[in-house]
């Protein structure tokens, strides 16, 4: 958190430096008495012809009578005496770019001193080489213009150039930067995101630009340099930003800097790979005001010499491996630096010890100490830091009491951020804090009872996160908790009861509201539907219809009302919510048909109606919802045929779950067109006919390497994203996981009336992890191609009419952990193989003609089988004797490891689920289909 917001700050700072040269901002103000030169007007018209001006920015560029003075055109500036065009600014809007290409005729504007074409979209075209003849150019801004190809080396002819920004384009990797050498007047050079990995002498080149004051080579893949260029005495740099490269401590960059008698003011070295102790030598640079070292691998503490850095205002060391006592760090900064430091970022290190008295840091405005190993109490002296505006102390195991004294003089505090600790918050009920907060973040804290009443005195907050903080209160009369402006509010995971107060419709416009996992009841008021993101899941809410339809909000993107007590028919006013991407209504008591306005949800990607009592056929207006990725209708009373259009109209479907309804008829072959499909669950319906051979078109199930389409939806609100939960059935029990990367790719057609043979085409789906065809009327032999499904972990073909031998190819699937072939007509010898040796007899019961291990029955001409437990010693605990004997602990163990390996860091939920299962396997075993 600290790193990123600091990164932002620094970016902004450097951005200003790069964007606002000392030229003043007198663009476009033509001189009233002048007429522009005919030739230059013609040139401008030619330039316009190459541009695509979707937003009519250049409407003033016109040859109509009365408008021909091009000095008055937008973005054009002429010099006073001669009326020549000297400045051209085509950087008009950062959201509505000009498109097309930059005309080579530009070179005819010979008097041009300044050209700004940033924030446009030149579609990877090249910067015109002819620009090299504009010998008067001093200021050149090509940044964020989507230029491509090579940077023309002819730029080196522009010997008057003082300012050059080439950042954020799509240039090819330059072979060298030799063309920069002649630019001896250059003062500002920004090349952010230009890949300089081949330019091994970049430092030598920039070192020779005598007047360079600002150098930004951020995200340039700069190669490490192991020889210091000759240092002439001093460089003139004020700002040096080399962040986000792969520079290491063994590179000579630091040595160069420390030896060059620099007077740099802002130094950005974040997101590199600097290691070891922080070099003392930074402190020799007395001019330093900003030292940005976050996201490296620095260890230890802060050198004592830093105490002498009397100009240091901002020090960022977040996301490193610092490990000393905070008291020592504070001590090492005390001298001069403590008086000047305004912002101190130490977030996410391993800093230890207690929270020291910081009153000697009298200028401190921003303090980030979160995610360290600080412990003990927070001293009341904190309340004396009267300049403090933003305080982040969460994620440390602090103890003790936080009281009003901790805030006594914090009149400027705007942001307070604390989480995960056992501090006791003790404020009197009529406390009037000295501050007006903008952001309050008390997450997973012990707030004790009640919503903090002192919030009523806060008039300017817009960010309130009190989630999981043991709040036991009613919301019914707490309307005051809702801010008066667009807000972010998260009160989830508490014990807040009562009903949501009814506020005016506009009060939540554009907001993000999460009140999930509480005990709210009653009607949902209209105003909450005016936000962009609304999560009311896991409450006891019971009324929806009227309030939903009274709201009208195309900007709502996310609506989760799942796990409530909503009942009745679904209201028919979804046309007011056309922007909805995620709609989750599962686990309620809705009944009736899907109303037709659901067909207006043309942006919808996730529609989850599972576990309700919806009925009727799948309505054809669902065809309009063509962006669907996740469709769950499980456990309802839908009936009729599975419509033909389902495969054709929803080409992006990844999860299709129609489980446990009353669908009948054949599986439409169009389902095979769903090339992104990963979960196909049609179990527990009345589907007849045979399994379509075209299943081999399910490309996504064919690819076990490709991580597949992640079902992660992002939407433009605060870059929120949402990851679908998917439910996987395993022996009649549901397991929830967040479907992020490759997860279970599965086909479940069990408990239908499918007949015919298992098509051999199924053998191409080698990404498949689980295949369940049990409880159907399938006949014939098990195709030997099934052995090609080498990702398979679960195979259930039980309760069919399959006959013949078990194909020996099955023994080749070395991940197979679970096999169920019970109640068929299989015969002959059970295959032998490492996995097969782990399955126990009940996997085969109800097939009287099978023989061989692990059955007691010998095949003809064989000796008595070996002791059946022989191969099951390494960690596999046989569940034999339990009611459902063939699940082995081995399955869980290996499934756990397999899944955890691929999901760790992505979804802790799953890990929890699986380890939970591990300790509850006995309980699980008792649950049957
Ligand atoms: C060009 O105009 C934009 C506003 O449209 C302004 O932000 C930018 O600073 C101008 N460029 C220069 C070089 O002054
Ligand atoms: C961008 O350029 C490509 C060719 O390089 C062209 O196919 C495409 O249509 C151009 N796009 C626009 C929006 O001009
Ligand atoms: C660049 O300058 C060289 C001489 O230094 C000259 O020969 C060449 O023509 C110039 N290029 C352009 C495109 O003006
Ligand atoms: C840094 O190096 C790693 C490999 O060591 C590479 O994957 C990464 O892309 C590099 N980053 C940059 C910004 O060059
Ligand atoms: C304080 O500075 C000394 C000398 O630079 C250093 O050895 C020590 O590790 C520093 N201590 C802390 C806690 O930063
Ligand atoms: C809620 O807070 C408790 C400690 O108070 C913590 O153990 C738990 O992990 C937190 N839950 C979530 C979902 O953050």
Q: Minimal CA–CA distance to 695: which of 756, 636, 639, 621?
A: 756
Query: Distance (Å, rounded) from C-alpha 225 to C-alpha 229?
Result: 10
Which atom of ligand 5 approaches the CA of 305 most closely? 5
161: region left, alpha or beta (phi > 0 left; psi from -120 to 50 alpha) = beta
On whether the CB atoms of residues 595 and 619 are closer than 8 A, the answer is no
Would you call 677 exposed, middle or buried from its count of C-beta atoms within 10 A (0-12, 13-18, 19+)? buried
Q: What H or E segment, with its residue span, contains residue 207?
A: helix 202-207
Here the tokens at position 13 are 């700072």
Q: How far is CA 434 from CA 411, 576, 641, in A?
A: 5, 43, 66
Say which residue the tokens 């009149």 belong to: 411
**Residue 731's pLDDT is what?**
40
Report the pLDDT value the prediction gives residue 447, as an integer from 0 to 100. 79
Kindly report the protein residue whose alpha carbon is nearest to atom 3 of ligand 6. 444
Cβ of 307 below 6 Å from ligand 5: no
DSSP H helices, 308-429, are 326-333, 337-340
Nearest partner of 111 among 153, 71, 156, judged by Cα: 71
Select from 240, 242, 247 the least CA-distant residue to 290: 240
Given a contact cutoff of 8 angstroms between Cβ atoms, the answer to whether 332 and 322 are in contact is no
The closest residue, in CA terms, to atom 5 on ligand 6 is: 444
Distance 491 CA to ligand 6 centre (A): 13
Distance CA 826, CA 844 (A): 9
**Which atom of ligand 2 is nearest the CA belonging to 100?**
14
- State whether the beta carbon of 245 lies less than 6 angstroms from ligand 4: yes
The gap between the terminal CA atoms of the chain, to the nearest Å, is 47
Closest C-alpha to 888, from 896, 897, 879? 879
How far apart CA 553 and CA 894 sit, in angstroms, is: 48
Ligand closest to Cα of 146 equals 2
Three-state secondary structure of 295-309: CCEEEECCCHHHHHC
Say if residues 66 and 54 touch (Cβ distance below 8 Å). no
Residue 465 and residue 467: Cα distance in Å, rounded? 6
**Rounded Cα gap, residues 629 and 655, in angstroms:** 7
> Residues near ligand 1 with C-beta < 6 Å?
19, 23, 25, 27, 89, 91-92, 114, 116, 141
Report which of 898, 712, 681 is spatially closest to residue 791, judged by C-alpha positions.
898
Supply the pTM of this predicted model. 0.79
Rounded distance from Cα 89 to ligand 3 centre (Å): 25
State both tokens at 192: 């952010």
What's residue 546's pLDDT?
80
Distance CA 588, CA 599 (A): 21
From the alpha carbon of 493, which atom of ligand 6 is closest?
Answer: 13
- Nearest ligand 6 atom to the CA of 444 is 2
Burial of 708 (0-12, 13-18, 19+ CB in 10 A): buried
Query: For ligand 3, is residue 157 a contact (CB within 6 Å)?
Result: yes
**Distance between CA atoms of 554 and 454, rounded to whole angstroms?**
35
Distance 91 CA to ligand 1 centre (A): 6
Instruction: Report the pLDDT value the prediction gives residue 714, as an integer from 0 to 100.
Output: 59
Q: Is 926 exposed, middle or buried (0-12, 13-18, 19+ CB in 10 A)?
A: exposed
Residue 302 CB less than 6 A away from ligand 5 = yes
Q: Please give the full DSSP string across 534-598, using - where no structure is assigned.
A: EE--SSEEEE-HHHHHH---TT--EEE--SS--EEEPPS-GGGGTT--EEE--SSEEEEPPPGGG
The label of the residue with tokens 């078990």 reads 806
DSSP letter at 495? Answer: E
Mutate to test the pocket of ligand 6, among 444, 445, 495 (most ligand atoms within 8 A of CB): 444
Q: Are 406 and 430 in contact (CB under 8 A)?
A: no
Residue for token pair 């929120």? 720
- Do residues 157 and 133 touch, judged by C-beta distance below 8 A? yes
Domain boundaries, the chain: 895-928
Q: Are 155 and 164 in contact (CB under 8 A)?
A: yes
Ligand in nearest proximity to the CA of 351:
5
Pairing of strands 712-715, 720-723: antiparallel
Q: How many angstroms does the Cα of residue 245 sit away from the middle of ligand 4? A: 7
Q: What is the DSSP letter of 430?
A: T
Ligand 6 centroid, distance to 219 Cα (angstroms) = 37
Q: Is 624 helix (H, G, I), strand (E, B) or coil?
A: helix
Q: Separation of 303 CA from ligand 5 center, angstroms?
A: 5
Q: Contact, 223 vs 248, CB < 8 A?
A: no
Which ligand number lies closest to the CA of residue 98? 2
885 CA → ligand 6 middle, Å: 37
69 contact partners, CB below 8 Å, separation of at least 6: 30, 34, 35, 36
Query: Counting atoms of ligand 1 from 1, which one is nearest the CA of 23?
Result: 14
Find tokens 């008097």 and name the residue.
111
The answer, yes or no, to whether any atom of ligand 2 lies below 6 A from the CB of 170, is no
DSSP-derived secondary structure letter, 410: -
Task: Report cis status (omega within 30 of 0) of the bond before 854.
Answer: yes
Cβ of 493 closer than 6 Å to ligand 5, yes or no, is no
**Contact assessment for residue 568 and residue 547, using Cβ atoms and an 8 Å cutoff:** no
Angle of CA points 392, 397, 402, to nearest 5°: 65
CA angle in degrees (0–180, nearest 5) for 643-647-653:
120
The dihedral sign for the CA sequence 400, 403, 408, 410: positive
Q: Would you say 710 and 683 are in contact if contact means Cβ atoms under 8 Å apart?
A: no
- Whether the CB of 444 sits within 6 Å of ligand 3: no
User: What is the rounded CA–CA span in Å between residue 773 and residue 134?
Assistant: 74
List the one residue out of 377, 439, 385 whose CA is nearest residue 402.
Answer: 377
Could you tell me the mean pLDDT of each successive run of 10 residues in the chain, 929 residues long? Answer: 39 39 34 67 93 92 83 90 90 90 94 94 95 94 94 95 94 95 93 94 90 92 84 76 91 89 90 95 94 95 96 95 97 96 95 96 95 95 96 93 94 93 86 94 84 92 92 92 90 95 84 94 94 94 87 90 95 94 94 96 93 95 92 95 90 91 92 87 95 82 55 54 51 41 74 95 88 95 92 91 94 88 94 86 91 86 47 28 25 24 21 24 23
Question: Using only C-alpha atoms, what is the Rg of the chain?
Answer: 34
Alpha carbon dihedral 266, 269, 274, 279, in 10-degree steps, equals: 0
As a whole number of angstroms, the distance between CA 501 and CA 479 comes to 6
Question: How many CA atoms, within 13 angstroms, populate the side-chain half-sphere of residue 825?
Answer: 10
Number of Cβ within a 10 Å radius of residue 922 = 10
Give, for 52, the enclosing helix (H) or strand (E).
strand 51-52
* Distant-in-sequence, close-in-space partners of 837: CB < 8 Å, separation ≥ 6: 853, 854, 870, 871, 872
**CA dist., res. 205 & res. 199, Å (int):** 10
User: Which atom of ligand 5 is nearest the CA belonging to 304?
Assistant: 2
**Contact (CB, 8 A) for 780 and 800:** no
The preferred substitution site among 220, 246, 271, 272 for testing ligand 4, maximizing ligand atoms within 8 Å of CB, is: 246
The pair of three-digit structure tokens given for residue 315, joined into one six-digit string: 């020090």
Give the position of tokens 């939806």: 713
Q: Which residues of 588-604 are buried (b: 16+ CB within 10 A; e: fewer)?
A: bebeeebeebbbbbebb
Which residues does 264 contact at the CB level (< 8 Å), separation at least 6? 235, 237, 238, 239, 240, 257, 285, 287, 288
Residues in the chain: 929
Provide the CA 80 distance to its chain's centre, in angstroms.
Answer: 52
Answer for the pair 427, 405: CB distance below 8 angstroms, yes or no.
no
Read off φ and ψ for residue 424, nearest 5 degrees. -100, 125
Q: Which of 575, 737, 585 is nearest to 655 (CA)?
A: 737
Q: Where do we find the tokens 């490309």?
A: 699
What string of DSSP letters covers 650-664?
Answer: -TT-SEEE--SSEEE
């Amino acid at each position: 958190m600290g790193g990123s917001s600091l990164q932002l700050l620094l970016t902004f700072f450097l951005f200003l430096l790069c964007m606002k040269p000392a030229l003043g901002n007198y663009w476009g103000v033509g001189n009233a008495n002048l007429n522009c030169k005919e030739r230059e007007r013609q040139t401008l018209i030619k330039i316009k012809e190459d541009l695509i001006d979707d937003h009519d920015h250049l409407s003033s560029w016109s040859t109509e009578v009365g408008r021909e003075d091009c000095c008055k055109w937008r973005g054009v500036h002429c010099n006073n005496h001669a009326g020549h065009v000297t400045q051209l600014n085509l950087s008009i809007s950062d959201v509505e770019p000009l498109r097309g290409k930059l005309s080579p005729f530009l070179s005819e504007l010979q008097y041009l001193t300044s050209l700004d074409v940033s924030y446009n979209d030149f579609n990877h075209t090249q910067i015109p080489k002819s620009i090299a003849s504009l010998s008067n150019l001093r200021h050149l801004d090509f940044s964020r213009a989507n230029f491509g190809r090579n940077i023309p080396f002819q730029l080196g002819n522009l010997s008057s150039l003082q300012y050059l920004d080439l950042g954020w384009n799509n240039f090819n990797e330059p072979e060298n930067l030799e063309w920069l050498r002649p630019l001896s007047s250059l003062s500002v050079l920004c090349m952010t995101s230009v890949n300089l990995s081949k330019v091994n002498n970049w430092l030598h080149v920039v070192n020779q630009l005598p007047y360079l004051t600002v150098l930004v080579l951020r995200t340039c893949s700069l190669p490490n340099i192991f020889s210091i260029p000759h240092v002439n005495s001093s460089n003139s740099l004020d700002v040096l930003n080399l962040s986000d490269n792969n520079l290491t401590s063994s590179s000579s960059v630091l040595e160069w800097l420390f030896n060059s008698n620099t007077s740099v003011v802002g130094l950005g070295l974040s997101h590199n790979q600097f290691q070891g102790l922080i070099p003392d030598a930074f402190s020799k640079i007395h001019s330093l005001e900003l030292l940005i070292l976050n996201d490296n691998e620095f260890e230890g503490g802060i050198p004592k010499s830093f105490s002498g850095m009397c100009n240091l205002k901002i020090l960022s060391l977040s996301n490193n491996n610092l490990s000393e006592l905070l008291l020592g760090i504070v001590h090492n900064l005390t001298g001069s630096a403590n008086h000047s430091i305004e912002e101190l970022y130490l977030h996410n290190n391993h800093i230890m010890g207690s929270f020291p008295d910081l009153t000697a840091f009298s200028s401190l405005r921003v303090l980030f100490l979160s995610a360290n190993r600080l412990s003990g109490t927070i001293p009341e002296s904190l309340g004396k830091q009267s300049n403090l505006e933003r305080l982040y102390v969460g994620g440390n195991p602090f103890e003790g009491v936080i009281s009003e004294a901790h805030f006594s003089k914090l009149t400027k505090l705007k942001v307070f951020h604390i989480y995960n600790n056992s501090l006791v918050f003790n404020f009197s009920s009529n406390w009037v804090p000295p501050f007006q907060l903008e952001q309050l973040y008390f997450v997973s804290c012990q707030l004790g009872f009640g919503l903090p009443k002192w919030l009523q005195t806060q008039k300017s907050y817009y960010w309130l996160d009190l989630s999981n903080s043991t709040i036991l209160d009613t919301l019914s009369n707490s309307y005051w908790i809702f801010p008066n402006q667009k807000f972010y509010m998260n009160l989830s995971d508490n014990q807040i009861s009562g009903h949501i107060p009814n506020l005016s419709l506009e009060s939540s416009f554009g907001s993000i509201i999460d009140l999930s996992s509480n005990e709210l009841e009653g009607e949902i008021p209209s105003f909450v539907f005016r936000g962009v993101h609304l999560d009311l899941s896991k409450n006891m809410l019971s009324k929806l219809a009227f309030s939903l339809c009274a709201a009208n909000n195309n900007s709502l993107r996310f609506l989760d009302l799942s796990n409530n007590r909503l009942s009745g028919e679904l209201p028919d006013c979804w046309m007011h919510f056309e922007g909805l991407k995620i709609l989750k209504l599962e686990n309620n008591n809705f009944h009736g048909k899907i109303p037709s306005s659901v067909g207006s949800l043309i942006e919808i990607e996730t529609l989850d109606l599972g576990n309700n009592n919806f009925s009727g056929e799948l309505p054809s207006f669902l065809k309009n919802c063509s962006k669907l990725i996740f469709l769950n209708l499980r456990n309802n009373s839908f009936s009729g045929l599975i419509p033909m259009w389902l495969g054709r109209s929803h080409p992006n479907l990844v999860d299709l779950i129609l489980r446990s309804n009353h669908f009948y008829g054949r599986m439409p072959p169009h389902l095979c067109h769903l090339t992104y499909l990963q979960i196909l669950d049609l179990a527990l319906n009345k589907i007849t006919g045979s399994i379509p051979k075209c299943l081999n078109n399910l490309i996504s199930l064919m690819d076990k390497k490709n991580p597949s389409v992640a079902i992660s939806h992002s939407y433009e609100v605060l870059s929120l994203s949402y990851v679908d939960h998917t439910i996987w059935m395993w022996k009649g029990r549901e397991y929830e996981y967040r479907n992020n990367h490759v997860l279970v790719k599965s086909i479940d057609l069990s408990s239908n009336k499918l007949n015919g043979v298992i098509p051999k085409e199924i053998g191409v789906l080698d990404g498949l992890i689980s295949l369940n065809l049990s409880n159907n009327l399938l006949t014939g032999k098990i195709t030997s191609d099934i052995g090609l499904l080498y990702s398979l972990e679960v195979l259930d073909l039980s309760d069919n009419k399959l006959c013949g031998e078990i194909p020996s190819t099955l023994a080749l699937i070395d991940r197979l952990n679970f096999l169920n072939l019970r109640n068929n007509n299989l015969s002959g010898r059970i295959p032998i193989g490492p996995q097969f040796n782990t399955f126990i007899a009940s996997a085969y019961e109800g097939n009287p003609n099978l023989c061989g291990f692990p059955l007691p029955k010998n095949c003809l001409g064989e000796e008595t089988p070996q002791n059946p437990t022989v191969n099951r010693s390494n960690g596999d605990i046989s569940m034999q004797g339990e009611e459902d004997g063939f699940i082995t602990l081995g399955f869980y163990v290996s499934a756990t490891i397999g899944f955890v390996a691929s999901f760790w860091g992505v979804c802790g939920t799953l890990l929890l689920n699986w380890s939970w299962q591990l300790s509850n396997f006995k309980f699980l075993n008792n649950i049957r289909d």
